[in-house]
Amino acid sequence: MTTATPTVTGSVQSNISDEVALRVEDLKVYYETPRGTVKAVDGLTFSLRQGERFALVGESGSGKSTLAMALMRLTRPPGHIAGGKAILHGTDLIGLSEEEMRKIRLSQMALVPQGAMNSLNPVMRVGNQIADGILDHLPEGAQKPSKDEMRDRVRDLLDRVGLQPMVARLFPHELSGGMKQRVAMAIGISLNPSVIIADEPTSALDVIVQRQIMQTLGRLQEGLNAAVILVGHDMGLVAQFADTVGVMYAGKLVEVAPVRTMFKNPLHAYPRLLIDSIPTMDEKKKMVGIPGMQPSLLNLPPGDAFAPRSPLQFSAEDARVEPKLVEVEPGHWVALSRPSVEDFDKYAHLVDYR
Amino acid sequence: MPPLLELKKVTKIYGGGFLNKDNQTIAVNKASFTIEEDQPKIVTIAGESGSGKTTMTRMLLGSITPTYGEMFYRGKDFRKLSRRERRQFQLEVQPIFQDPFESYNPFYKVDHVLHAPIKNFKLASSKDDRDRMVVEALHMVGLQPDETLGRFPHQLSGGQRQRIMVARALLLKPRVILADEPVSMVDASLRATILDSIQTLNKELGITIIYITHDLTTAFQISDTILIMYRGNVVEHGDVERVIHNPQHAYTQLLIDSIPQPDPDHRWGELVRATGTDMVGTGKQRDIFGIEPGIDVEYDEVEPNHWVLRSDVAMNGQTPAGSSAEPAVPAGS
């Protein structure tokens, strides 16, 4: 039925270098509300290597989009970055001034936003919007390109995302959803960033267009040897695209692993259930969901937030122990806690309780 | 006994007008299908945006009338229904929509959406009778009345909200439930529960379910038969396992092949060619699947209970020679 050839455009573990492009350390993004503090991202730590495709997965409300916005320093009140670091090639982004950050956006780190349809200026031609981004974020001391140079650059960018040159003269409303997403990608890569954050880039698109867009994103990433953070909820898409997968639950990472390990041998109950809940087309069988609901992030009690939904046996006392994200084998990190990890005893020596 | 619903070569055309023939959109082209009451099935109408599945839904609900073709409700021409018959139709065919939150008034408790249809159609003789009906309907969809009644919509989860919508439809004892993307707005962990309760209605109450979706995997899991729509045409239909496991039309094949499998060892093949949905000036280019506006529809039965639209375009995923469609992404980018 499926004639997929393994690893054609999405080569698993291909050009990943050892050089760390972005290191996120204990990052916290909180929203202050009249009823208390919502800890949308609560102490996230991970590294992104140059050339790596890192997928950040979670259900709605897990904090994945909040993290994407925080990395771009685009968090809006009542949200604020409450602590931690995001080190991009040696520079801590969290400590930068607004003006310094503006120069990093697009030239070093770019965002391909969720729902490109709403992020393009409706009264500006596509070509001018791309040019605008380039002019606004030119690196320090770079020469302003001439009109002809700019036209060629826009043409080249459109070509790289698979659009004809005439698209430059169109307005956003004249484009289909897939084309708008391509324009957003053209803007994203216009200054050859080393990190691209793609926040649900295909959430509103049909599956065939989605496939085309993801494959285009993959090619662009390979061409630039950029690191990509793909933020999403579709585990299928993640399996198709990513080298490494991080699964978020209630503002925290519960497991980070190479894509094969994550899909074949997840250790934490949440990713395991998430993968089991994907319906297949091989045979008809009873679909399973994950019982229970995500907890409210407002005044979340300490301990393992997933414990109330976990199918494993544990005591109430176990659930109150704060899980620790521990590297159980090279590149495979798990938030170890008795309520959520089946083989906990096997790894218990890695954490300092019991 | 005549079928509950029957569509014969139904076409819906939008726009145009007699001075503006060029500007017409054929949203649904000569679609036919039948719903028999004595064999309650789960039928999926699958398609991507622009395939005509929403237009089809609205015709099935009687909220728009076809431009051409005939629609029958219990053997009667839809356009000639009496007021009473139309009311009966509105009871028997119930919709459930995509975003459960938008179907609620945030200022009313959820009880309101359950009481309104009982009142409108005068289904209960007393207040006790009404409350008994509500509790019964909630139990049918697996909800606990004391966890749901008396609450406001925002106090419930998305899954609970959607299941209350199913309960609301159930109060009217429908024969057909038309579920338009009922799970596209909910998380994966909740999807199973909602689809499960929809399946129960079919199996236990004998209600026919028309499941409208773009998601072939859930369609495969819950339905008996499937219709694949592309640019207004039903390109392939029949038994769901036959259509999904042995797709014949090039579009169905591409669609199935593009579903991201949750398996890193089975990644997508090479880049696919552009389809009408991702091109500029789609009207000017020949559709790579040979689906032109208003084409004649004839079906070949390729195996028992599996039909495919007859076409002059080569099948098996091959793009016909001389097609003007261009690759989505030029090589060497």
The per-residue DSSP string of A241-267 comes to: H-SEEEEEETTEEEEEEEHHHHHH---
Contact: B192, A288; criterion CB under 8 Å: yes
Which among A9, A206, A277 has CB closest to B214? A206
CA of A61 vs chain B CAs: smallest distance (Å) = 10
Structure-model confidence comparison of residues B215 and A4, the more confident one: B215
Mean pLDDT for chain A overall: 86
Cα distance between residue A212 and residue A259, in whole Å: 21
Are B325 and B274 a contacting pair, CB within 8 Å?
yes
Does B316 reside within a domain?
no
Residue A230: pLDDT over 50? yes
Weakest mean pLDDT among A69-78, A190-199, A339-348: A339-348
Question: What percent of chain A is modeled with pLDDT above 90?
Answer: 32
- A8 and chain B in contact, CB less than 8 A: yes
Contact: B189, A239; criterion CB under 8 Å: no
Contact list in B for residue A9 (CB cut-off 8 A) is 267-268, 270-271
Q: What is the pLDDT of residue B317?
A: 43
The amino acid occupying position B92 is E
Instruction: Give the residue from chain B lying closest to A174, CA to CA.
Output: B280
Weakest mean pLDDT among A101-105, A216-220, B159-163: B159-163
Contact: B244, A177; criterion CB under 8 Å: no
The amino acid occupying position B219 is A
Structure-model confidence comparison of residues A212 and B210, the more confident one: B210
CA angle A259, A260, A262 (to 5 degrees): 65
Does B59 reside within a domain?
yes
Cα distance between residue B239 and residue B46, in whole Å: 13
Its CATH class, for the domain covering A20-117+194-256, is alpha beta
Does B10 reside within a domain?
yes
Q: What is the pLDDT of residue B45?
A: 94
Q: What is the pLDDT of residue B178?
A: 92
CATH code where residue B13 lies: 3.40.50.300
Q: What is the mean pLDDT of residues A179-193?
A: 89
**Chain B contacts in chain A segment 330-349 (CB below 8 A):** none
Cα distance between residue B162 and residue A313, in whole Å: 31
Does B330 reside within a domain?
no
Contact: A2, B257; criterion CB under 8 Å: yes
| ipTM exceeding the 0.95 mark | no
- Which of A3-7, A223-227, A294-298 shows the highest mean pLDDT? A223-227
In B94-157, which residue ranges form alpha helices assigned H by DSSP? 111-120, 127-140, 145-148
SS3 B301: strand
Contact: B255, A159; criterion CB under 8 Å: no
Cα distance between residue B221 and residue B42, in whole Å: 10
Please report, in tens digits, the pLDDT of each residue of chain B (333 residues total): 889 999 999 999 887 666 666 677 888 999 998 988 888 999 999 988 878 888 898 899 888 889 999 999 999 998 899 999 998 998 899 988 876 667 777 788 888 889 988 888 888 888 999 999 999 888 888 888 888 888 888 888 777 888 888 888 888 889 999 998 888 777 776 788 888 888 888 998 899 999 999 889 999 999 999 999 998 899 999 999 999 999 999 889 888 988 888 888 888 876 555 544 444 433 444 567 777 777 888 898 999 999 999 876 544 444 443 333 333 333 333
Tally of structural domains, chain B: 1
SS3 B46: strand
Q: What is the pLDDT of residue A253?
A: 93
Structure-model confidence comparison of residues A61 and A353, the more confident one: A61
Range of the domain at B260: 5-309
Question: Which residue of A8, A243, A248, A281 to mutate against B (max B Cβ within 10 Å)?
Answer: A281
Residue A262: pLDDT over 80? yes
Q: What is the mean pLDDT of residues A318-329?
A: 87
Q: What is the pLDDT of residue B286?
A: 54
Contact list in A for residue B243 (CB cut-off 8 A) is none
Strand A244-249 relative to strand A53-57, pairing: parallel
Does B31 reside within a domain?
yes
Q: What is the pLDDT of residue B100?
A: 63
Contact list in B for residue A172 (CB cut-off 8 A) is none
Q: What is the pLDDT of residue A116?
A: 66
Are B299 and B309 a contacting pair, CB within 8 Å?
yes
Does B317 reside within a domain?
no
Q: Which two tokens stand for residue A279?
A: 């319906």
Does B39 reside within a domain?
yes
Neighbours of B327 (CB within 10 A): 14
Q: Is the peptide bond before A308 cis (omega within 30 degrees of 0)?
A: no
Q: What is the pLDDT of residue B333?
A: 31
Does B133 reside within a domain?
yes
Task: Break chain A into its structural domains and give their ranges.
Answer: 20-117+194-256
CA of B168 vs chain A CAs: smallest distance (Å) = 23
Which among A220, A279, A289 has CB closest to B193? A289
Q: What is the pLDDT of residue A36?
A: 86
Distances (CA, A) of B85 to A51, B4, B7, B58, B206: 65, 13, 18, 18, 22
Q: Which two tokens stand for residue B282?
A: 């789609």
Q: What is the mean pLDDT of residues A54-65?
A: 88
Question: What percent of chain A is modeled with pLDDT above 70?
Answer: 95
Cα distance between residue B114 and residue B172, in whole Å: 10
Which among A177, A289, A293 has CB closest to B192? A289
Q: Which residue, A112, A119, A67, A115, is CA-closest to A93?
A: A67
Q: Strands of chain B (E only): list them.
A: 5-15, 24-35, 42-47, 68-73, 76-77, 93-96, 176-180, 208-213, 225-230, 233-239, 299-303, 306-309
Cα distance between residue A38 and residue A64, in whole Å: 14
Q: Which two tokens stand for residue A216?
A: 């285009």
Q: What is the pLDDT of residue B153?
A: 83
